[in-house]
Amino acid sequence: MDDMKTLMADWDPFQFEQDMNYVHLNPDLEWKIANLPDSPGCYLMKHQGEIIYVGKAKNLKNRVSQYFRPSRQHTPKVRAMVSKIDDFDIMLVDGELEAFTLECNLIKLHRPHYNILLKDDKHYPFIRVDLKERYPRVQLVRKQEKDGAKYFGPFQGATVVREVLDVVRMVFPIRTCAWQINPDKPHRPCVHHQIGQCPAPCAGMVSEADYLETIHKVMEFLNGKYAPVLDEMKTRMSEAAAAMNYERAAVYRDRIRAVEAVMQKQKAISTALGDQDIIAAMPHDADAMVQLMFVRSGRLIGSERFMLEGAGDEAMGDVLTQFILQYYDLENMPPQDLLLSVMPEEKAVIEQLLTELHGRRVYLSVPVRGEKRKLVNMAVKNLRDELHKIDRKNANSYARTTGALEELKDVLGLPEPPRRIEGYDISNTQGVLSVASEVVMVDGLAANKEYRRYRIKTVEGANDFASIAEVITRRLSHGLKELEERRAQGLDPEGGKFSWLPDLILIDGGRGQVAAARDAMRALGLDIPIFGLAKRIEEIVLPDEEASILLDKHSNALHLIQRVRDEAHRFAIIHHRTLRGRASIASRLDGVPGVGEKRRKAILKHFKTVEALREASAEDIAQVPGVPAGVAEAVHRFLHESDDAEGEQE
């Protein structure tokens, strides 16, 4: 998305007609444009061999040549795309329908940068039934694959799916295990069979035909056809009660209640019973969002939203066209009716494609009144609500990041908002095992990969001032050296481990720590803004100012630097605890026969954490290079005997 914005930012739409430099027509490109056929087909725009856009046309000559003519009707995205085109290919077909199909397949195959692409980062849960499996199971899955299985959903969450599966297993006896069913090698039936929830195909107690009949009933149930199930169970309950088999009748009663509970959770639609998908689209800044709602047997059973990046300036009819062609396939069949918020121009062709896919007539419509219009309005309402939430979330994110940095710039008197903020903290126990942490925030967000840990090497005892001076000296010295090397090589300073120097330094502490850090920095010839945040009253301490700065407790700038300070403290404490644990284990290992300094270091390096070593078995410890099985047994025994002794002393 950032690449798209960068490309679009290079163009001035008001100079477009006066400036033809955006089209760089090499001789091969000019020849191809001049010799385009008057034929339907698809075109593949390329940049340095990469396909960046796929389109279709009734007349390739007219459509493709339009891209290379100046026009104010061209969107910024089209201008940016055309500026990159250095070649194109065409594929001729017999008619518009074939062009539609080919375009859809090419987009799915190549996923070109400038096409409207269906992306769904949310993995809504589905219910999966694989009829190719012998004695199929009914499973919860997170992703819909093209594996020939039947998928039902998507559902709003795993909890809803589990509720539905509980009802399915209560009503229909089906297996839940993952056994490979082999009639020649029967298993003993499990407890699910004993309580009536599994017909025990593993034990050969049900035929494959009878089991498949049950699975087909399950699939009808999942499609929202509850009435046949309810009628059958009510009949069986009445028969059991008439035969005075009240326990069996009670089982059917409970199953009926479970089905009715699921039915009540799904919104009833008073439209004529049938299957429909409701699809609405709406632009949002540079993107577009599509709302898809599923009605099965007259009941609204679920919904899903998709964000289509870079499609905000496209006609919503075109957005729906691309969505429909990319969403529906052999594993995701369309229902008979698609109710749309706006009609695509190619309605007839889309209907023909979906009809061939579905195997029966599929209709596209934009209802203008009645219950169907209410459904479309419901989808639009849901879209507006979601986009409103996104706007509020973005505004809050802006306030916590960019807005907070702007405020911090004003508070500290900086010339520009600081992009890279580094926070430092010292941690030790009575001067023992002193460590320091460096945490980094870039553009108001934590940059975890930039975090660093330091062991204090030159300071003895608990001296935070000298410790912070050592850390600042080491960090900035590394940075200056690497910065010089990368500049000599023509590399970006932001790509190194230390060469991207901070715009602002935060010290967890008061004036003494800040002054020590400032002096260390200036000794290296640098003048980076630096300040401290004292915990007592959350005051900002500047190195050359006696007066502190107190921000309002609701200030976004205060919240931002508190996040940096708290993260530095947390990171230092974790490192210190790890070192203490390693030191404790290392001292214990010194008493194990056969463990010298070399083997001790190898063991600690292999397991990395104290917890991992304690939980390791003797066989795991023996996997460490250079540690024989006998020594591994001794280490394991010694560690756990020591733990038992400590427990007894407590």
pLDDT digits (tens, 9 = 90+) for 267-303: 444 445 578 899 999 998 888 999 988 887 666 666 7
Q: Domain check: are 439 and 385 in the same one?
A: no
CATH number of the domain residue 93 falls in: 3.40.1440.10
Contacts with 67 (C-beta within 8 Å, 6 or more apart), sequence order: 45, 78, 82, 85
Q: Chunked in runs of 10, what are the mean pLDDT values of the chain (650 residues)?
A: 41 40 67 84 88 89 85 77 86 77 78 76 70 87 78 66 73 82 80 82 87 88 77 86 89 78 53 76 89 78 79 88 86 86 90 87 91 86 84 84 91 92 82 80 90 86 88 94 91 88 92 92 94 84 85 88 88 68 58 74 72 76 84 76 39
Residue 116 lies in a domain: no
Which residue, of 268, 294, 325, is where some domain finishes?
A: 268
- At residue 586, the pLDDT reads 55
- Residue among 470, 471, 496 at smallest CA distance from 483: 496
Q: Give φ, ψ of 183 to 5 degrees.
A: -55, -25
- Residue among 509, 514, 565 at smallest CA distance from 543: 514
- At residue 28, the pLDDT reads 77
**Exposure string for 58-72, b = 16+ CB within 10 A, e = fewer:** eebbebbeebbeeee
Q: Domain check: are 283 and 234 in the same one?
A: no
pLDDT digits (tens, 9 = 90+) for 487-517: 988 888 888 889 999 999 999 888 899 999 9
Q: Domain check: are 147 and 66 in the same one?
A: no
Interatomic CA distance for residues 72 and 620, integer angstroms: 69
- At residue 475, the pLDDT reads 94
- At residue 271, the pLDDT reads 44
- At residue 81, the pLDDT reads 87
Q: Domain check: are 565 and 508 in the same one?
A: yes
pTM: 0.50
Question: Following DSSP, what letter does each residue of 78-146 receive, concatenated?
Answer: HHHHHHH-SEEEEEE-SSHHHHHHHHHHHHHHH--TTS---B------EEEE-TTSSS--EEEESS--S
Q: What are the tokens at 323?
A: 């969505």
- At residue 7, the pLDDT reads 38
Q: Please tell me what DSSP assigns to residue 490.
A: T
Cβ atoms of 627 and 603 closer than 8 Å: yes
Q: What are the tokens at 610?
A: 């104290």
**Helix or strand run (H / E) with residue 148:** none
pLDDT digits (tens, 9 = 90+) for 371-392: 888 889 888 888 888 888 888 8
- Residue among 646, 649, 645, 606 at smallest CA distance from 625: 606
Q: Domain check: are 429 and 567 in the same one?
A: yes
Q: Domain check: are 261 and 287 in the same one?
A: no
Q: Give φ, ψ of 131 to 5 degrees.
A: -70, -15
Instruction: Give, rounded to a whole angstrom, the gap between the first and last alpha carbons of the chain.
Output: 59
Residue 582 lies in a domain: no
Q: Domain check: are 523 and 445 in the same one?
A: yes
**Residue-range definition of the domain harbouring residue 449:** 415-576
CA angle, residues 261, 263, 266, in degrees to nearest 5? 115
**Number of independent structural domains in the chain:** 5
CA-to-CA dists, residue 551 to 412, 504, 558, 560, angstroms: 11, 18, 6, 12
Residue 407 lies in a domain: no
- At residue 119, the pLDDT reads 60
**Exposure string for 576-601, b = 16+ CB within 10 A, e = fewer:** bebbeebeebbebbeebeebeeebbe
Which residue, of 79, 110, 141, is where some domain finishes?
A: 110
**Exposure string for 253-268, b = 16+ CB within 10 A, e = fewer:** bebbebbeebeeebee
CATH number of the domain residue 644 falls in: 1.10.150.20
- At residue 461, the pLDDT reads 74
Question: Following DSSP, what letter does each residue of 511-574 receive, concatenated?
Answer: HHHHHHHHHHHHHTT----EEEEETTTTEEE-TT-SS-B---TT-HHHHHHHHHHHHHHHHHHH
Interatomic CA distance for residues 469 and 373, integer angstroms: 70
Q: Domain check: are 304 and 345 in the same one?
A: yes
Coil, strand, or helix at residue 278?
strand
Q: Please tell me whether the peptide bond between 173 and the residue prior to it is cis, using omega within 30 degrees of 0.
A: no
Q: What are the tokens at 520?
A: 């260390």
Q: Domain check: are 604 and 554 in the same one?
A: no
Handedness of CA 495, 498, 499, 504 (dihedral sign): positive
Q: Domain check: are 432 and 297 in the same one?
A: no
Q: Domain check: are 264 and 281 in the same one?
A: no
Residue 307 lies in a domain: yes
Q: Sort 175 into a burial class: Cβ within 10 Å, 0-12 / 13-18 / 19+.
A: buried
Which residue, of 524, 551, 576, is where some domain finishes?
A: 576
Q: Domain check: are 283 and 359 in the same one?
A: yes
Residue 638 lies in a domain: yes
**Helix or strand run (H / E) with residue 427:** strand 420-429
Strands 41-47 and 299-308: unpaired
Residue 26 lies in a domain: yes
